[in-house]
Amino acid sequence: MLSRLPRKLAAFSLLCASAVPLSAAAQTIAYGNVGDGGDEPQAGSQGDFGGKGRSTRGNGGGRVKYTDVSPYIEAKQIVTAELSPGDDVVTYSVIAAGVDAEIQGLRNAASVSLRYERRFGWGNAQDTDLISGVARGYTTVMPGLQIEAGGLAERARFDAGGASVIDGLVDDDSVTQLYSVYAGPSVSTNAGDVGINANYRFGYTKVEQVDAIRTDPAGPAIDVFDDSTIHAADVHAGVQPYEVLPVGLGAGASYVREDISNLDQRVEDFMARGDVTVPLSPNLALVGGVGYEDVEISSRDVLRDGEGEPVIGPDGRYVTDKSAPRTLAYDVSGLIWDAGVLWRPSTRTALEAHVGRRYGSTSVYGTFAYQPTSRSSINISVYDNVAGFGGQLNSALVDLPTEFTAVRNPLTGDLGSCVASLDSGACLTGALGSIRSSTFRARGVMASYAVKLNRIKTGIGAGYDRRKFIGAPGTILEVYNGVIDENYWMAAYLDGEIDNNSSFSTNVYANWFDTEAGFGGDVTTMGATAAYYRRLTRHLSASAALGLDGVNRDDPNDDDFWAASALLGVRYSF
């Protein structure tokens, strides 16, 4: 592995140095991004035909400059009744503080929803502190240079089958906190007719699950993901069709590295490729690319005691044997290619679809965005990548739009699976799925539909995520190698104003998690909430809410769990 590193760096340096004379990629058809506003594509980005770089979220010409910051404090009383398998009833008094903000400017944009909640349990209920929030934004430091950042703090439910899902009214040992943050610069410039862009991102993800999950005392424990860091960098340059040649040409390179604390796992993905765009009409083009990619996944083995049994540390996770050599679990390198179509018939419709060869097999990916009106949108994305839990969640956070409204559970205050937005990338559920520490190849699809009328906002998201896990032979992770987890999910919301002083919100979600692992079984989680809000004064409002939350398990040794909750509360908004 180390012997390949100089070749990677040399190839990367050579491609960067030769990008200008070789390249061509800012290949646009007649239209920019879908919608009235939206993000401004960089030169040579995916927003332009032929680009392979990541587009920086910019400020589109259709956006209105405004700032809306709404801090608040809140007090509420919650009663939760267990319906199955027991009949326990717990009561909480809650004090919370938070802020919701949306900023759209000429050089910056951000959406933030942050909340801290303190629960005081009555009787057998325990006191807890909860932090939840989501943020996504950018600022322009100078023309051509932007800084992007984002973060997520959320509670998630972890099941013995290895599943994780946002939402849930029940606060038990299967609910824990997770965090994910990222930041990095993006540069976009031109050298004559050549558009050049480069991006760097550093990300970090942490799961605070204390103990590894063990369903069978005699069997292996699920090594629950702990934390990881990710470095992602790319550079791309290109020209539009007819500026140099009748076709657009481009060249780029990228390097991604994720380091997972569990057993020192590491994912490295280096890619260099060239692209060509062949315009067929003002709104239709054929695209293709060919290049070289080297993907390696490696880890160390678990520390074993005198009897050869794996050692589990105080955090419930496997202890890494630092003296053990690094073992390759995945090593695929060689030629990659893809061909596809880009179709943009109007400012409200965009389709990009690719099929090719990557990771040693057929790879399909693409996006579709359609805004029939300025108040509704349909977005579909198909993906195929190699990552760990932290890298997958961090990438989903990067894909969130900069203009959104957080959808929260009215009883718990937790974030929902999706945010309310007319832009793409509005759901995080597909990035959760399995919580195993092992790396995986993820393939899936996500679709969302959103409508914003005068008094009504509604949206639905659904998707499918398939993960095939990768474990090094001869190590403790070998037991996961080839295991496939599938996650089908759905989330929907409907919010509206009844009159000038009252409003309502409703949310539903469902997850169907199937695993080939020999422990835990399949799991279905689902729930629904409904809330009513009444403005009492200019700053003071009251709320009432009901909710139902449940977990169904196929494992006959595990009971199904259902609970109902009710809430009364007041909020003071500054």
Structure tokens at 513: 């998690």
Terminal C-alpha separation, the chain: 57
Question: Cα separations (Å) of 54 from 43, 124, 196, 253, 440?
Answer: 10, 50, 12, 11, 22
Structure tokens at 223: 């090594």
List, for residues 461-496, the tens digit of each pLDDT value. 999 999 999 999 989 999 889 989 999 999 999 999
Residues counted in the chain:
574
Q: Write out 216-266 in H/E/C secondary structure.
A: CCCCCCECECCEEEEEEEEEEEEECCCCCCCCEEEEEEEEEEEEECHHHEE
Which secondary-structure segment (H or E) carries 388? Answer: none
- One-letter amino acid of 206: K
pLDDT below 70 — which residues of the chain?
A: 1-64, 159-163, 165-174, 210-221, 424-425, 518-521, 556-557
Peptide bond into 556 cis (omega under 30): no
Q: Residue 13, exposed/middle/buried by CB under 10 A (0-12, 13-18, 19+)?
A: exposed
pLDDT of residue 566: 96
pLDDT of residue 58: 40
Q: What are the boundaries of each domain within the chain?
A: 4-280+290-305+312-320+349-573
pLDDT of residue 161: 60
